[in-house]
Structure 1
Amino acid sequence: MIRRIEQTTSTNDDARSPEYRHGDIVWAERQTAGRGQRGHTWTSTSESITFSLVLEPTFLPIAEQFLLSEVVTLALTDCLAGFGIDTRIKWTNDIYFGDRKMVGMLIEHTCSGTTLQRTIAGIGINVNQKEFDPSLPNPVSMAQAAGRTFDRTEVLESFRRHCMARYAQLERGDRESLQREFRQRMYGLGERRPFRLPDGTGFEAVIEGVRPTGELLLRHDDGSLHGYLFREVEFVIKNRDKSLLLPK
């Protein structure tokens, strides 16, 4: 079920209602308190899609929760590829077209004992925007990337199909394929990139992948390999020229 509403505070909050079950989506035209990663907000417009997907992964141990990020981000890249847009997954779960952010996501879990009980993936996709708030550092929309506009309902239904297929892959126990494909689609894989620690210290390192538990693997200049959990390190994305070359 996809339920479309005009306005709410946060679709992630709405999706906590027991009326929504596995595979259901809450889609709001406007969120007044949409949440993003690291305490950021997500701005919704009539040209974007802001929604929350409900999953009930009761078979999955808490320690393997990062697999759900892999499921949803791979589904997003599958969906966008179906519309002719080649994207990459910026750890942990943003979707980038080149060096620009097309999709943001916040995943929240509830647990029961040693396993997950309910997962809510709050997602914002830039679909048809041509202009953005100038305070945003590097946004891009599907329309800008592809040079045409899209039917938002079609995009959302496509994502849901791809996500259920990826989720079925996880249910079958095909963890290795999910992890391998996630690594292959990582933004900046094999590249030397700038990062920042929580205390503000900057450094550069080569992205080598991600552990099954979700740590980002970085090769430092001294040759050492370190794994960083979310909030232990942050990408430094340099502001780019606001112009974007569209496909001919």
Structure 2
Amino acid sequence: MIYRIDETTSTNDDARDARYRHGDIVWAERQTAGRGQRGHTWLSPRGENLTFTLVLEPHFLPVGEQFLLSEIVTLALTELFDRYGIDTRIKWTNDIYTGDRKLVGMLIEHDLAGGRLARTLAGIGINVNQTRFDPSLPNPVSMASATGRTFDREEVLGRFHELFMARYAQLERGEKEAIQHDYRLRMYRLGERHPYRLPDGTLFEATIEGVRPSGALLLRRTDGSLGEYLFREVEFVIDAKG
């Protein structure tokens, strides 16, 4: 079920309420303290975009396989944009890009019970109809600016929910290899050589070869060595004008 509210601090915070159950979506017109990856804030003009949290209760999934949830969310999003004629790719770990510009940001948070996942909150921000962005943002894009037309946000959200639940059913059936295969094929910059940056500022060139089930990014350096990097251990270097 989709719950639409006018304003909240963060939909991820609001979605922690036990009244929201598996498959529910909490959609807010405005977030006063929306959160993104790497501690960034997420700001969105009222009435232009989609800022929401998808509530999941994946009790069947071991903690070590939690990255599969990120994979099915991002796959559902790329399939959603296919429906609107927008070619997108998944920028590891879970941003959605069209070209070299960011269309979707996401923050996924997990609550654990023993060695299994009890509750997962996937906070998602989709740039839908916004055409003017804060100049400090490096590379934003919206569905509207990518296509030259505006969209019914409620329809977009409903379609995403349907596509996601189909992917979730695939995960419940245990089709993990198929999910991982599809995720790899949709990866941004797969098989291309580009620069990357380590936390200490060191730059190096490498080619994306894929991702481990754990979520570790596989980068083949120019000297032939293969490195594995978890979230925050490596950063993409992207030309903001790309």
Aligned pairs (5 A) from 1:19-34: 19-34=19-34
Which residue in the other structure is 2:44 paired with? 44
CA distance in 2, matches of 1:97, 1:41: 21
CA distance in 1, matches of 2:226, 2:204: 14
Which residue in the other structure is 2:7 paired with? 7
Which residue in the other structure is 2:130 paired with? 129
Q: Which letter maps to 1:228?
A: Y
CA distance in 1, matches of 2:41, 2:205: 27
Which structure 2 residue ranges, 5 or more long, are not aligned?
none
CA distance in 1, matches of 2:151, 2:191: 33
CA distance in 1, matches of 2:194, 2:25: 35
Aligned pairs (5 A) from 1:198-237: 198-237=199-238
Which residue in the other structure is 1:188 paired with? 189
Query: Which string of whole-angstrom CA distances, capped at 9 and with x for unpartnered residues, describes residues 45-102 of structure 1?
Result: 2211000000000000000000000010000011111111110000000000000000
Which structure 1 residue ranges, 5 or more long, are not aligned?
242-248
CA distance in 1, matches of 2:197, 2:19: 41
Query: Which string of whole-angstrom CA distances, capped at 9 and with x for unpartnered residues, describes residues 102-124 of structure 1?
Result: 00000000010111000000000
Which residue in the other structure is 1:103 paired with? 104
Query: Which string of whole-angstrom CA distances, capped at 9 and with x for unpartnered residues, describes residues 117-162 of structure 1?
Result: 0000000000011111100000000011122110000000000000
Aligned pairs (5 A) from 1:134-145: 134-145=135-146
Which residue in the other structure is 2:35 paired with? 35
1:149 is the counterpart of 2:145: no
* Percent of residue pairs bearing the same amino acid type: 73
Divergent runs of 4+, >3 A: none
Query: Which string of whole-angstrom CA distances, capped at 9 and with x for unpartnered residues, describes residues 220-242 of structure 1?
Result: 1110111100011111112206x
CA apart distance, 1:204: 1.3
Q: What RMSD in Å do the two structures reach over aligned CA positions?
A: 0.8
Q: Which letter maps to 1:54?
A: V
Task: Please report the TM-score for the alignment, with normalisation by the length of structure 1.
Answer: 0.96
CA distance in 1, matches of 2:194, 2:122: 28
SS at match of 2:42: coil
CA distance in 2, matches of 1:65, 1:193: 28
